[in-house]
Amino acid sequence: MNRSHFSPALAQLRGWVTLLAAAVAISAVMQMVVFAFANYTEARWTESRPDAAQANASVVLPPGVAGAAATRPSAETSGKALGAGDANLRGMSRLSAAVGVVSVFGLAIFTIVGVVVAAGGAVPGVERAVNSAVWAVILALICVPWAQLLRGEAFPGVFSTYESLVEAVENPAAAGGGWSMACRFVLLPIAGLTGALVVAWQFRSGVDRGIVLESMSELEAAIEREMAEVRAKGGGGVGGVRAVGALNRALGDVQAAPVPSMKLAAGAESMSDAPISGSLLRRPGNQGPTAGPGPMQPNR
C-alpha cells in the first residue's frame, strides 16, 4: 500500500504527541519542585524586621511588679511573614497545573486521532499506537484534580492546587503524615512523568512504519538500524533482504513497476499489438510454416 498520502499526517501527530508528553513531564517536575521548596525550605517566608521605634518600645508594668519598666520585643516584630517566595511558588504551581492538565487532555486526543489514521492506513505496529492511546486516557484521568472539581474528599490528582499543598505542609497530621504527603506530591508526579514518556515512546514506535523518510540521512539511518539488528542476531544472508525491506518502508512501500513483456524486451514494440500473419502459423501435420492458404480441393 502506498503510504505517502497519509505520511505527513502521521508525522505531524507524532510531533504534537512528543511535544505534549514533554509538557506533561515538565509540569510534573515543576510540581515536585514546588513541594520541595514549600516543605523543606523557608522560601515562602521572610523575617519581619521592626523599625527603630518598635525596637525601643518599652512596656510599663503596674506598681509592685518586679522590674518597673522592661523593654521587650513584641510578638508581631519577632514573627515571620509570607514573602515574595510564596507568590513565586504559587504562580509556578498554578502554571504547571494549568499546562499539565491541558497538555494531558491534548495528549489523549492526539493519540486517539493517530490511532484512527494509522489503522485506516494499515500501518504495521498500529497496536502500539492503540496501547499509547489507552494509557493516555488513563493518564488524563489520573492527572485531573478531582478534589477541586468535586469539592470533596476525592482523588487529588497529579496536578493538585497550591492551596491544598500549603495546607498539607502546614498541617502534616491532617494530611495523613509524611508518607501520605510523599505519595501525593512526589510519587504521583513521578507516575505522571513516567506515563507521559511511555505514551510518547509507544506512539512513536507505533506510527514509525507509516512515515516516509524524505532525506538520505534518515534513509541511511533506517538501513543501518536494520543491518545492526541482523548483525546482532548473527544473520548474514538475509541482510540484503532486510535492507531492501527498510528501503521499501522508507519509500512508502511503493509498488514496483510491471515487468515488460518478452516481445517488448526483444525490441518488438511495434508488433506488440499487431496481428500475427497467417503464413507464420504452424498448421497441424506440417513441419514448418506455410506460405499461404492451400489450393481449393474439389468436392468429391
Mean per-residue pLDDT of the chain: 74
In this predicted model, which residue has the larger pLDDT, 90 or 275? 90
pLDDT at 160 over 70: yes
| Res 66: pLDDT | 45
pTM, to two decimals: 0.65
Confidence of residue 16 (pLDDT cuts 50, 70, 90): very high
pLDDT tens sequence across 75-119: 344 467 888 889 999 999 999 999 999 999 999 999 999 999 999
pLDDT at 241 over 70: no
pLDDT tens sequence across 21-47: 999 999 999 999 999 999 999 888 887
For the ranges 86-100, 151-165, 240-254, the lowest mean pLDDT is seen at: 240-254
| Res 269: pLDDT | 47
CA proximity to 7, closest of 155, 120, 161: 120
Residue-range domain boundaries for the chain: 7-50+70-210, 216-250
What mean pLDDT do residues 186-193 have? Answer: 94
| Res 70: pLDDT | 41
What mean pLDDT do residues 174-197 have? Answer: 89
